[in-house]
């Protein structure tokens, strides 16, 4: 059994997919988000989409960081995580403006005071204000903040986005075909719209990252941060503390000065909306498909293929430092790493080679590394081949 499963988490969410298999798939079965007819206005040329996601267990890391350092501003990053995970899923359906957002925050009031809620709620609005400067409009409709200490051990930060959009401007993934190349857009670095180095971790795989990197000290001091029935052999088994400076604990090249383990693992999820706004306005007709490599990591694309294809990813990015540290601490095999974490890029677009070059150039203008990371080939079944170093991983 892999570490994710031993910790009560599923990278592929098999049980969830089984539970929802009888539900209506919407107008386009292979689209990244469920797309419905325009129930709001009844216009056949428009569609409605509502999507829910959140920061996952990253909020537990914020809790640890806040308790240890007193830096309450860390919760603003969690606010961005909850928004970006919704926003970037919707980008892959072709949507980049005029969103409605409602937050859902469940907390244990005994542990999470009102000051934390203020940071999350105000941090959400601050993030929307920054995006508005780039021409992206998200309308904050409030939401539900519930005190449910019998259900939530610390805090869960989630949200729901809704949008009405022209049907002829939707990405359905139905155009993905053999001969397409796949452009990957890096998850790490410092984009032109970011204020600090981003480790690229996003908001997926944080259960493994937390337990594999951090010391037993945290389980002993903060038992509220993990499920007590877990085998202690998989609980906080790492060697680091959150305030450890990277230049003292890592033999790898340090990507930016002053980084600590805490800052690395809590990097706010990068949103690709400033990039995708440009690509969707200028190259919509050249985008055959788009995938947000979130839950499921580099295997995510398999779920959205419109027909049997062989996906070959033979030119992946060098894994960013955060993933190297996680793997060094955990000893997890490459196959699990690549289906849990994004491992270097969280957004990929299926297109032709000429358009790919133009998209890569635009990403460069925003200081986002991008390159052709693979291709789609004819096949009798859906299959994925990843080249990692000199070996191939087959899914």
The enclosing domain of 131 has a CATH number of: 3.30.1330.10
Q: Is residue 180 situated within a structural domain?
A: yes
Q: Is residue 19 domain-resident?
A: no
CA dist., res. 243 & res. 68, Å (int): 9
350 in any annotated domain: yes
Within 10 angstroms of residue 130's Cβ, the number of other Cβ atoms is 14
**Which residue has tokens 């007193």?**
70
378 is in which domain, residue-wise?
A: 3-8+27-195+267-394
pLDDT of residue 16: 55
pLDDT digits (tens, 9 = 90+) for 100-155: 999 999 999 999 999 999 999 999 999 999 999 999 999 999 999 999 999 999 99
CA-to-CA dists, residue 314 to 333, 353, 394, angstroms: 18, 16, 12
CA distance 236 to 5: 15
Two structure tokens written together for 57: 């267990």
Burial 353-378 (b: 16+ CB within 10 A, else e): eebbeebbeebeebebbbbbbbbbee
Long-range pairs for 321-324 at CB < 8 Å and ≥24 separation? 321/188, 321/199, 321/246, 321/250, 321/252, 321/253, 321/254, 321/255, 321/264, 322/188, 322/199, 322/200, 322/201, 322/209, 322/264, 322/265, 322/267, 323/200, 323/201, 324/252
Phi, psi of 54 (to 5 degrees): -170, -170
171 domain residue, yes or no: yes
What is the count of structural domains for the chain?
Answer: 1
Within a domain: 373: yes
Q: Is the pLDDT of residue 51 over 90?
A: yes
**Confidence band of 328 (pLDDT split at 50, 70, 90):** very high
The pair of three-digit structure tokens given for residue 383, joined into one six-digit string: 């299959």
In a domain, 51, yes or no: yes
Confirm whether 45 is domain-assigned: yes
- Compute the distance between CA of residue 187 and CA of residue 347 in angstroms, rounded to an integer: 8
Is the residue at 255 inside a domain?
no
Average pLDDT, the chain: 95
Confidence of residue 343 (pLDDT cuts 50, 70, 90): very high
51/234 Cα distance (integer angstroms): 33
Residue 253: per-residue pLDDT: 87
Q: How far, in Å, CA of 55 to CA of 123, rounded?
A: 14
């Amino acid at each position: 059994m892999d570490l994710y499963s031993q910790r009560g988490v599923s990278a592929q969410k098999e049980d969830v997919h089984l539970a929802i298999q009888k539900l209506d798939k919407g107008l386009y079965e292979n689209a990244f988000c469920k797309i419905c007819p325009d129930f709001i206005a009844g216009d056949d040329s428009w569609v409605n989409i509502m999507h829910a996601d959140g920061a996952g267990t990253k909020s537990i890391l914020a809790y640890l960081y806040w308790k240890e350092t007193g830096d309450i501003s860390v919760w603003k990053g969690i606010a961005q995580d909850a928004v970006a995970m919704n926003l970037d899923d919707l980008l892959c359906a072709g949507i980049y403006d005029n969103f409605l957002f409602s937050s859902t925050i469940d907390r244990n009031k005994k542990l999470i005071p009102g000051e934390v809620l203020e940071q999350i709620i105000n941090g959400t609005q601050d993030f929307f204000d920054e995006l508005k400067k780039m021409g992206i409009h998200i309308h904050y409709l409030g939401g539900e903040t519930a005190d449910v200490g019998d259900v939530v051990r610390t805090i869960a930060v989630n949200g729901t986005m809704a949008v009405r959009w022209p049907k002829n401007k939707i990405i359905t993934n139905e155009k993905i075909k053999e001969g397409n190349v796949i452009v990957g857009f890096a998850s790490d670095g410092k984009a032109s719209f970011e204020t600090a180095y981003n480790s690229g971790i996003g908001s997926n795989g944080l259960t493994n990252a937390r337990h594999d990197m951090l010391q037993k000290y945290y389980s002993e001091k903060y038992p509220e941060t993990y499920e007590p029935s877990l085998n202690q052999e998989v609980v906080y088994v790492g060697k680091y503390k959150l305030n450890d400076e990277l230049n003292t604990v890592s033999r790898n090249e340090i990507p930016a000065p002053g980084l600590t383990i805490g800052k690395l693992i809590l990097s706010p999820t990068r949103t690709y909306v400033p990039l995708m706004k440009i690509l969707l306005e200028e190259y919509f007709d050249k985008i055959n498909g788009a995938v947000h490599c979130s839950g499921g990591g580099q295997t995510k694309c398999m779920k959205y293929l419109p027909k049997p294809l062989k996906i070959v990813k033979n030119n992946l990015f060098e894994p960013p430092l955060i993933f190297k540290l996680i793997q060094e601490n955990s000893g997890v095999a490459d196959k699990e790493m690549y289906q849990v974490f994004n491992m270097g890029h969280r957004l990929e677009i299926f297109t032709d080679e000429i358009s790919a070059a133009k998209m890569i150039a635009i990403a460069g203008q925003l200081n986002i590394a991008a390159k052709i990371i693979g291709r789609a080939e004819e096949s009798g079944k859906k299959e994925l081949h990843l080249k990692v170093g000199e070996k191939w991983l087959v899914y």
